[in-house]
Structure 1
């Protein structure tokens, strides 16, 4: 049957992103190529139509996967899609292990938890979603496509994050879960990936400016030069770590980023959100520290002549002394930069909180999604 034949059956696949933040970016990229992948992997004689949309701003936290599946099923019925796939950044669990995907044939929908896929989320979604669509059509006995010739467990070979399958296809409910230990590690790293640390880094620009100002003042103080020379590598490391930890704690407390368990947020989910927020801020502040350190080294080398530094330290100096000087100044300036963080736009800083989701269209990247 020719591809242009109007008699070809049409199957409409809906892609839903919830919340309309990072998942919307993944949906937009996947939707542009999914029809071709479905023709290649499932059936080339079908006219594949892909629709995309947004789910709720913040998905229900208390209902887990079942609540998402019910909401998605209603969305599919209202829009008259044949099947629907939901991509979410909400960490989901089946029992006590991370849930990667849940296929519900009776509702003709499936969900994928992006954080459970780890760091290579877009690549994995490209591989998994066509198989999930094929699985749905087979389990619902859709006669427009031939049934798949592989068992549900075979998806584990194509998606490394999947450890095993819970349920049977005949029951209409299949859960693809990760391993208990490695799966949790992958889930946490995936949450940091979904939280986009780069956005948090760009959002803390005033903090970095304040830290540079503090470092510039400290560079002119000879007492700081002597202090850095007297401290060993271990103590300088402790000062650096304490400075970074204090900055992360200040950002969380000052901007109310700590997630507390309540009726709509279970304790386990709140803990995961807080871990994701802490790691995101830790990564962003560490990169900021490295930028500050590099800038301080360059500034010290340009402004402080070797002879002046030798007169203060009463010994010959080399490039490592400039590195040590930049090390202590960067650590002290990091704490000073916390003052600058108080000047940041509240919503900009709160975007680093994993459980925070703005209204659709609130950010430029969402408008372009």
Structure 2
């Protein structure tokens, strides 16, 4: 149903990942309603959960003169111990959507759920309609859209990592890669490492790789103080979710760096170590798998060495990987 005279306010808080989703959604909803965009707080209120956000958005709606308002946030929210996807208050004519609870296909899910929320606030929603990301709807005036317990939690964590944009952490790990490549170059010239790579099986190499990546992530969190602690306006559950989001973001960024290091080590190893030289050290014919195994071991060892160099990274760049950290969006302007 088209209500071109109805003004719908879309508020993004914080003005980071949610703002990008809001910008794309606003253009698509413009043919149904008059849409206005706005930014919320860079650090949205954590105390009070969904109710605190609804109160803030209700005040914003009244100040702006909007008919209804929808807030898109990257805060992970819960209701009845399961992820909260959205909550709508017909009394206040506002609703909030927790983007992480929508998983990886957030834009597609938002396209489905926001029109339903607007129509509910306008009194036009059908009780039979339920977006795909929603397991069930609780309540009437204060309708809460919740996800399933197991799949919803997995989707929430994946959505948090997506909202945290792991690509932002990659520039902050540039010195790590430089240090790791330096360590790998030294290890490639050591014939003892060649023999060690042959002696270790796939299981041991996998354990070494996981330990190396785990050490790197741990070092980044400790060295740059990325661990969220409960207290003040941050509950134990919210701190736990923030830390899981930070670990997931760093683990994904570290895995990408590891893959780059592995590919580079394979190429350098193939150029540096002739098959005859490697075969003489191993005392058997050499195959491609030998170079891959050697690069696998060296990349894992070099990752630990590179972690030391990561402590010298730019603090602001690395802190972008912390889920609860949102830098001021320089150059962005709220429509207010």
TM-score scaled by length of structure 2: 0.95
The whole-number CA distance in structure 1 between the counterparts of 2:249 and 2:316 is 16
| Residue aligned with 1:352, SS | coil
Cα deviation, 1:293-339, whole Å, max 9, x if unaligned, reads 11111111111100111122222111111011101110011011112
1:258 is the counterpart of 2:258 = no
Alpha carbons 2:38, 2:334 under 8 Å: kept: no
Large movers: runs of 4+ above 4 Å: 366-369
1:98 is the counterpart of 2:93 = no
Alpha carbons 2:83, 2:149 under 8 Å: kept: yes
| Residue aligned with 1:14, SS | strand
1:234 is the counterpart of 2:206 = no
Q: Give 1:196 deviation, angstroms.
A: 1.1
Q: Give 1:93 deviation, angstroms.
A: 0.9
Q: Give 1:208 deviation, angstroms.
A: 1.6
The whole-number CA distance in structure 1 between the counterparts of 2:179 and 2:21 is 35
- Aligned pair partner of 2:265 in 270, 293, 296: 296
Q: Give 1:206 deviation, angstroms.
A: 2.0
Match of 2:146 in 1: 177
- Aligned pair partner of 1:155 in 105, 123, 129: 129
Match of 2:311 in 1: 342
Q: Give 1:263 deviation, angstroms.
A: 1.8
Alpha carbons 2:88, 2:144 under 8 Å: kept: yes
Match of 2:54 in 1: 69
Segments of 5+ residues of structure 1 without an aligned counterpart are 40-47, 139-146
Tell me how large the CA RMSD over aligned residues is: 1.8
Q: Give 1:155 deviation, angstroms.
A: 3.1
1:166-245 equivalences under 5 Å are 166-168=138-140, 172-245=141-214
Segments of 5+ residues of structure 2 without an aligned counterpart are none
Q: Give 1:247 deviation, angstroms.
A: 0.3
- Aligned pair partner of 1:110 in 95, 98, 102: 95
Q: Give 1:209 deviation, angstroms.
A: 2.0
| Residue aligned with 1:16, SS | strand
Q: Give 1:202 deviation, angstroms.
A: 3.5
| Residue aligned with 1:176, SS | strand
Match of 1:283 in 2: 252
1:82 is the counterpart of 2:67 = yes
Match of 2:136 in 1: 164
1:328 is the counterpart of 2:332 = no
Match of 1:13 in 2: 8
